[in-house]
Amino acid sequence: MFKKLNILDEKNKHLRTVAKEVKLPLSKDDKKTIQQIITHLKYSQIEEKSEKYDLRPGMGLAFPQLGYDKRIIVIVYEYEEGKFENYVVVNPKIISNSTELIAAEAGEGCLSVNREVEGHVLRYARVTIEGYDEDGNLIHIRAREDLSIAFQHEIDHLNGILFFDRIDKNKPFYTENEIRLI
């Protein structure tokens, strides 16, 4: 039985705190929460399910967005119509990044931000993430383009940063000549 997650709103001060490192192995509750997040994110990207359950589309969620003070992120990436890759990273860190910066042309959104926010968020075009999988194994993930943006967005949540904090107030938009927009 699907149960919609209770995602905190941007006004909740919990979203502005730095989450704590997670001790491995993960608890049964943490693993259950991860599965609930995966289902929620997958359903949010499938039109008939998102309409049925009234879900806003999203590809990532960090534990702090559910009120848990833990460094765990989940990304459900639709790499092809109806085909998804799940990424679960415990205690993620960006260990390398490209010098090239990109931005999502339409701007970024967030399941904790229930309003339109105008502006481009500069992100690295490529990142390598190090962390642990659900079973406590050390993992490395190389992400490019929109997946790279998603990882940086979710890791920001672990550090109390919301995407609009990164929009330059003096220059909220960039042209194709200034930055590669994807």
Q: Looking at the annotation, which residues are catalytic?
A: 154
Could you tell me the CA-to-CA distances from 30 to 42, 45, 123, 126 in Å, in that order?
18, 23, 29, 29
Closest by alpha carbon to 131, among 87, 172, 164, 101?
87
How many CB atoms within 10 Å of residue 74? 23
For residues 21 and 71, the answer to whether their CB atoms sit within 8 Å is yes
CB atoms within 10 A of CB 4: 12
